[in-house]
Structure 1
Amino acid sequence: MINRNLISEIQKTPRLFFVSVFLSVFSAFLLLWEYWLIAKIIQNAFLDNIGIKVLKPIFIQAVVVLTLRMITDYFDDLYAQKLVGVIQKNVRSRIIQKVALLGPSYMEKKQSGAMLSMLLDGVDTLETYFRSYLPQLIKSLLIPTLFLLVVSPLDYIASVIFFLTLPLIPFFMILIGKWTKNASERQWRLITQLSGYLQDVLRGLETLVVLGRSEEQGNKIEAISEAYRVSTLRVQRWAFISSLALELIATISIALVAVSLGLRLVSGEMNYQIALFTLLLAPEYYKPMRSLGSYFHVSLDAEAAATDIYAFLNVSEELTLKIKDESFSFSDLTFENVSYRYPETKVYAVQDINFRLKAGESLAMVGQSGSGKSTIMQLALGLIKPTKGRILINGKDMHDGQIGHWQSRISYVPQKPYLFGMSISENIAMEANLDQTKKKRIEKLAQETGLSESILNCPQGLDTLVGQGGIELSGGQQELLYLTRAFYEAREILFLDEVTDNLDIISEQNVINALNNLLRKKTSLIIAHRLTTVEQVDRILVFHEGHLVEQGKPGQLKAQKNYYYNLVKGENS
């Protein structure tokens, strides 16, 4: 089956594909030559009683042709591997770029395990399509045609049998394929569901055990696994039936050719060398189409995976990434009547927001949960676009070529950053195999943020392995690590999201001290859960039910005894 999206991948790397197809056809030509020489050697040696001296050059020629065909097949496979590698790399890169363009608001709605399954298993499934099925489809058209052109002048009866019987193979292949298509699609859906669900369950296994729900989830995994087993066996059953039908047709066709050759050979109507050459060629004539039949069912799996992949790649995106400009200098960020409504919702998350963040200024956003603070942060980061209004960077629309410039200047500490399975110092630098210069810089920054003091109990200090496969850091240690990472990036703008949430008093104080050092001479936008962390900022933005209801200095807002005053009073009570 031909998938237009998958064919478009070939159009991006046509040279590798056509070189591979050319080598396959050239190998078929060498096979014709080789079989002709073999038939000639047998004819001369056993029927014509020609001596070894005459046969020796023919034998050497056959060996040379065989060697050349083996070399051709090697390079054919090599180019096919390169083609698959290039296509898989391109598709994975576009998926990852698409994830970045869609932003977190879209990705939060998707099952992370299913996305990972599509990125890994789904793209891997394309290998057989591009390496085997698609080249074999071209070979199935070109190689039998080449064989017919060679055989027709030698034996028109055999060529007629070849011509009439070959179409039966694709006919039954397509007929059976229609029955198996739905089963293959169902199998892909189930493996994607199982893979995604299993990964998500493993991530939340601790919570499931604590809540006593692990057995229930285990039963659900078992049910999906059983459905996948049944679906796989159903697909395999059709594959076996298809293989049996195709092999039976090919075998009967070869038998017809053999009987025809034998009868005419016995009656003296045919030359032995031509008869042997045609008989040797018969299995090879049907081989491309038989191989296509075996790859056909695998192509259905690739088709099902491609449907999900290209559906995701065709989702309309909110962002357009731009190359950053090193000469870009930030002066101000302005929200002008900004409103945002999440897709598939009717209520605005934030509405008619107006404020300005100047270079060197620190702003804190406060408000109850669901008041719109996180939405404003995503808008300010350029991760989502306003439904209404504009966001300006230096007086120009953020989404008019400013995104790359803006984001390249920001250090962002999210509420729940990810801790990689590396050492503490490598997590700070976001790279492995650090040289001594970088390590010394990290040590100095860790002392300034208080991270070095907080990890005294870690066996290898900053070289201690954390994350997956390593020790577990406390909440306070993690926040200090993330703040040290922001220090290390040395960018002029800092965005912080609830960095002291769920910390004990001692850890909170350590983080606040680190923040006070970090915020000096930096532009900052902070989401604050605990109001004690915002006493040193220049201005506070107070949000309530998606609206900006107050803004001003901490002391001024307290004196007004309105929204902010009530928040402080509620926290202290």
Structure 2
Amino acid sequence: MDKNLLGYKGVKPVFMIVGFLTLVQSLSIILLAKWLAEAVSALFAGGALKEQWGTALLFLLAFLVRQACGTLMSRVAYRFAEATGSSLRREMMDKLFALGPRGVADKGTGNLVTLSLEGVTKFRNYLELIIPRMVGMGITPWLLLLYIYTLDVRSGVILTVTMPIIVVFMILIGTTAQKHMDRQLASYRTLANHFVDSLRGLETLKFLGRSKDHIKSIAEVSDRYRSATMKTLRVAFLSSFALDFFTMLSVATVAVSLGLRLVNENMTLVTALTVLILAPEYFLPVRLVGADFHATLDGKEAGAAMKELTERKTETAVLLGEEPAAVRAAGAGAAAAEEAAGSKAKPPGGASKTAAPPAGGSALPADYRWSASSRLELRGVGVAHETDGPASLAGVSLSFAGTGRIGIIGESGAGKSTLIDVLGGFLHPSGGEAVLDGRRLSGLTDDAWRRQVSYIPQRPYLFSGTLAENVAFYEPDASREAVTRALAGAGLASLAASLPAGLDEPIGSGGRALSGGQAQRVALARALLNPRPVLLLDEPTAHLDIETEYELKETLLPLFQGKLVFLATHRLHWMQDMDVIVVMEGGSVAETGSHEELLVRRGAYYRLIQSQREGMH
């Protein structure tokens, strides 16, 4: 049994209900065996059939009680499995959004999609089967064995001795099966990630003429998965055969012992029949556990993987204190001056070196909203992923107010993506603080802030579904009119009109393939359908050709109006359209200012332009 099983919400009442039903079912098994043996022995002794109606009806009643208890147990386990599976999926999705792309990069897109879709279904099946099976194995055999001892001690001893042998053998084969299942699951995850990456890069592979060569790579990964699956199945079949063999051998031993004593007239027929009927029932719970162990092992592994993901440590922003009214007023005045000057970001004079102890409670009100009068400051923010390792960000101090377009540039490894993760609330800083509308926070990893943010990654994922479903992924209840407006705003109206099924055309895996630019526009349509005041774009055009990028740029720029936009890119032609440019070097802010201001300074920004020779003036 999974060690995490008892930690799920509502599992203890389920165990109590299933335990009570199992107890009633076990007693009904004893009674039906007793009454069936009495009826058969009476008929064997020459009694009239009509005289056995009472015993037969009692047997039928016990049989119906047994079936009713089994049905009720299945329903209770099914409802619990459905509720727990749905809850775990929600927890996993919430955790994925909380961790952000950096926090789950080690899992792989294909693995996460497979886990959230197929993994939850397998986990539900595991819960539905394992709870009745484990409770049954813990109650039924011992009650039956106790009753058999009251009837015939010798048969009880035989059953007592053979049960541990079967259990030990199950453990040995189960351990082997676990190893093979781990290999199969690892191979399946590799196949899922490899297949998704291949689909997403198919256009590039075709362009380079390597698509046919890639077939061999997919075939090799698929063959490894096939081999792992066949090994697991062989162990499963061997386990079932061995379990049935030892069970039949034990029952046969009991039957032979009973038969010999019946011949020697050392036992009554009714006792022998009762013991013989109960012997297979004694082993049945163990057989069911052994049979379902392999059927639910992948569900157990999926549940463990989802549990590991949901229990990943995430730091939540805490409230460090409130800015004094005078400081807030000065900040608001500075923000107004910046806005009048056409600048929306500046490095503050200095960062807070020490922070007040956490005040406790939520960092932001649940109904917090970013508005044109809002202000955000980063003070001495640093990010170090390892204690003794190099810092990805060091002493970053910036200020943003209201709306505007903020360009974040720098060479690879300069800290652009890390800064985007901090601003999006995906990553909690290792040091420094954020000040949001006068509230001093340890970071921006707060649900209220994340609800203000839309994020467009470098390679948005298209799910297997219709065009409308992909656009409405974050707003599944959106009307078709709203989806149509979002598609038009993202420049996809002509694409939707050209598709045979329109908005209902399947895209993503198994559907119509979209180009990189079209996929980015779908991601943009998602953001438009759920309008949030803060928009983050992390290298959104890094994988696009220059013609597609300029087309997408013409669509994006008008949509930036009225939002606070952070655009991290290494394509410098975007910077002429930014209100403020933040130049990153080695995890620190090298300089900030407008395009014209930074050109005049001839600093880090000017050197980037010279190195890329983009001919900007």
Pick the TM interval, shorter chain. Answer: 0.7 to 0.9
Aligned to 1:427: 471
- Say if 1:80 and 1:131, in contact at 8 Å, map to a contact too: yes
Q: CA deviation at 1:378?
A: 1.7
Correspondence for 1:172 among 165, 169, 172: 169
- Say if 2:22 and 2:135, in contact at 8 Å, map to a contact too: no
Q: Distance in 2 between matches of 1:450 and 1:187?
A: 42
- 1:307-338 residue CA offsets vs partner (Å, 9 max, x unmatched): 64554444433556978622445521112122
- 1:49-103 residue CA offsets vs partner (Å, 9 max, x unmatched): 2461x32233233333323322222222222222332333333333333323332
Correspondence for 1:80 among 77, 80, 93: 77
Please tell me whether residue 257 in structure 1 is matched to residue 254 in structure 2: yes
- 1:344-390 residue CA offsets vs partner (Å, 9 max, x unmatched): 99433333222100123443333444433232222111111223322
Q: CA deviation at 1:428?
A: 6.2
Please tell me whether residue 554 in structure 1 is matched to residue 595 in structure 2: yes
The structure-2 alpha-carbon separation of the partners of 1:566 and 1:262, relative to structure 1 and needing over 3 Å to count, comes to closer
- Between stretches 257-266 and 415-424, larger displacement belongs to 415-424
- 1:424-444 residue CA offsets vs partner (Å, 9 max, x unmatched): 6972685457547646xx54x
- Between stretches 561-570 and 500-509, larger displacement belongs to 500-509
Correspondence for 2:395 among 322, 336, 352: 352
Aligned to 2:498: 458
Aligned to 1:524: 565
Q: Distance in 2 between matches of 1:187 and 1:378?
A: 34
Aligned to 2:330: none
Please tell me whether residue 185 in structure 1 is matched to residue 226 in structure 2: no
Secondary structure at the counterpart of residue 316 of structure 1: coil
Correspondence for 1:407 among 427, 446, 450: 450
Secondary structure at the counterpart of residue 107 of structure 2: coil
- Between stretches 404-413 and 452-461, larger displacement belongs to 452-461
Kindly provide the amino acid, as one letter, of the partner of residue 392 in structure 1.
V
The structure-2 alpha-carbon separation of the partners of 1:33 and 1:465, relative to structure 1 and needing over 3 Å to count, comes to same
- Between stretches 378-387 and 61-70, larger displacement belongs to 61-70
TM-score, with structure 1 as normaliser:
0.83
The structure-2 alpha-carbon separation of the partners of 1:134 and 1:451, relative to structure 1 and needing over 3 Å to count, comes to closer
The structure-2 alpha-carbon separation of the partners of 1:69 and 1:472, relative to structure 1 and needing over 3 Å to count, comes to closer
Correspondence for 2:426 among 368, 383, 386: 383
Correspondence for 2:605 among 544, 564, 567: 564
- Say if 1:136 and 1:288, in contact at 8 Å, map to a contact too: yes
Q: Distance in 2 between matches of 1:561 and 1:436?
A: 51
Aligned to 1:42: 40
Q: Equivalences for 1:35-434 in 2 at 5 Å?
A: 35-50=33-48, 52=50, 54-127=51-124, 129-214=126-211, 217-298=214-295, 305=302, 308-319=305-316, 325-329=366-370, 331-342=374-385, 346-399=389-442, 403-419=446-462, 421-423=465-467, 427=471, 430-431=474-475, 434=478
- 1:211-234 residue CA offsets vs partner (Å, 9 max, x unmatched): 454555444444444444444444
Aligned to 1:467: 507
* Structure 1 unmatched runs, 5+: none
The structure-2 alpha-carbon separation of the partners of 1:524 and 1:314, relative to structure 1 and needing over 3 Å to count, comes to closer
Secondary structure at the counterpart of residue 571 of structure 1: coil
Q: Distance in 2 between matches of 1:422 and 1:304?
A: 31
Aligned to 1:13: 11
Q: CA deviation at 1:153?
A: 2.8
- Between stretches 381-390 and 11-20, larger displacement belongs to 11-20
- Say if 1:158 and 1:260, in contact at 8 Å, map to a contact too: yes
Secondary structure at the counterpart of residue 333 of structure 1: strand
Aligned to 2:335: none
The structure-2 alpha-carbon separation of the partners of 1:345 and 1:458, relative to structure 1 and needing over 3 Å to count, comes to farther
Aligned to 2:334: none
- 1:454-499 residue CA offsets vs partner (Å, 9 max, x unmatched): 6596358974747326666666666666555544434333334455
Q: Distance in 2 between matches of 1:161 and 1:513?
A: 80
Secondary structure at the counterpart of residue 378 of structure 1: helix
The structure-2 alpha-carbon separation of the partners of 1:434 and 1:352, relative to structure 1 and needing over 3 Å to count, comes to closer
Q: CA deviation at 1:453?
A: 7.3
Secondary structure at the counterpart of residue 383 of structure 1: coil
Q: Distance in 2 between matches of 1:424 and 1:126?
A: 29
Kindly provide the amino acid, as one letter, of the partner of residue 155 in structure 1.
D
Aligned to 1:508: 550
Secondary structure at the counterpart of residue 108 of structure 1: coil
- 1:143-164 residue CA offsets vs partner (Å, 9 max, x unmatched): 1221133233333333333333
The structure-2 alpha-carbon separation of the partners of 1:544 and 1:106, relative to structure 1 and needing over 3 Å to count, comes to same
- Say if 2:177 and 2:232, in contact at 8 Å, map to a contact too: yes
Q: Distance in 2 between matches of 1:238 and 1:402?
A: 47
The structure-2 alpha-carbon separation of the partners of 1:77 and 1:549, relative to structure 1 and needing over 3 Å to count, comes to same
The structure-2 alpha-carbon separation of the partners of 1:495 and 1:288, relative to structure 1 and needing over 3 Å to count, comes to closer
Q: Distance in 2 between matches of 1:407 and 1:280?
A: 63
Q: CA deviation at 1:299?
A: 6.1
The structure-2 alpha-carbon separation of the partners of 1:111 and 1:486, relative to structure 1 and needing over 3 Å to count, comes to closer
* Structure 2 unmatched runs, 5+: 319-361
Kindly provide the amino acid, as one letter, of the partner of residue 451 in structure 1.
G
Kindly provide the amino acid, as one letter, of the partner of residue 201 in structure 1.
S
The structure-2 alpha-carbon separation of the partners of 1:382 and 1:507, relative to structure 1 and needing over 3 Å to count, comes to closer
- Say if 1:351 and 1:546, in contact at 8 Å, map to a contact too: yes
- Say if 2:380 and 2:396, in contact at 8 Å, map to a contact too: yes
Aligned to 1:31: 29
What RMSD in Å do the two structures reach over aligned CA positions? 3.8
Q: CA deviation at 1:176?
A: 3.9
Q: Distance in 1 between matches of 2:238 and 2:480?
A: 64
- Say if 1:194 and 1:224, in contact at 8 Å, map to a contact too: yes
- Between stretches 39-48 and 304-313, larger displacement belongs to 304-313
Q: Distance in 2 between matches of 1:481 and 1:240?
A: 47
Q: CA deviation at 1:546?
A: 3.2
Aligned to 2:338: none
Q: Distance in 1 between matches of 2:300 and 2:234?
A: 19
Kindly provide the amino acid, as one letter, of the partner of residue 555 in structure 1.
E
Q: Distance in 1 between matches of 2:552 and 2:251?
A: 82
The structure-2 alpha-carbon separation of the partners of 1:495 and 1:42, relative to structure 1 and needing over 3 Å to count, comes to closer
Q: Distance in 2 between matches of 1:506 and 1:155?
A: 84
- Between stretches 494-503 and 198-207, larger displacement belongs to 494-503
Correspondence for 1:539 among 559, 580, 585: 580
The structure-2 alpha-carbon separation of the partners of 1:525 and 1:180, relative to structure 1 and needing over 3 Å to count, comes to closer
- Say if 2:18 and 2:135, in contact at 8 Å, map to a contact too: no
Kindly provide the amino acid, as one letter, of the partner of residue 557 in structure 2.
L
Kindly provide the amino acid, as one letter, of the partner of residue 8 in structure 1.
G
Kindly provide the amino acid, as one letter, of the partner of residue 3 in structure 2.
R
- Say if 1:319 and 1:385, in contact at 8 Å, map to a contact too: yes
Kindly provide the amino acid, as one letter, of the partner of residue 32 in structure 1.
I
TM-score, with structure 2 as normaliser:
0.78
Secondary structure at the counterpart of residue 338 of structure 1: strand
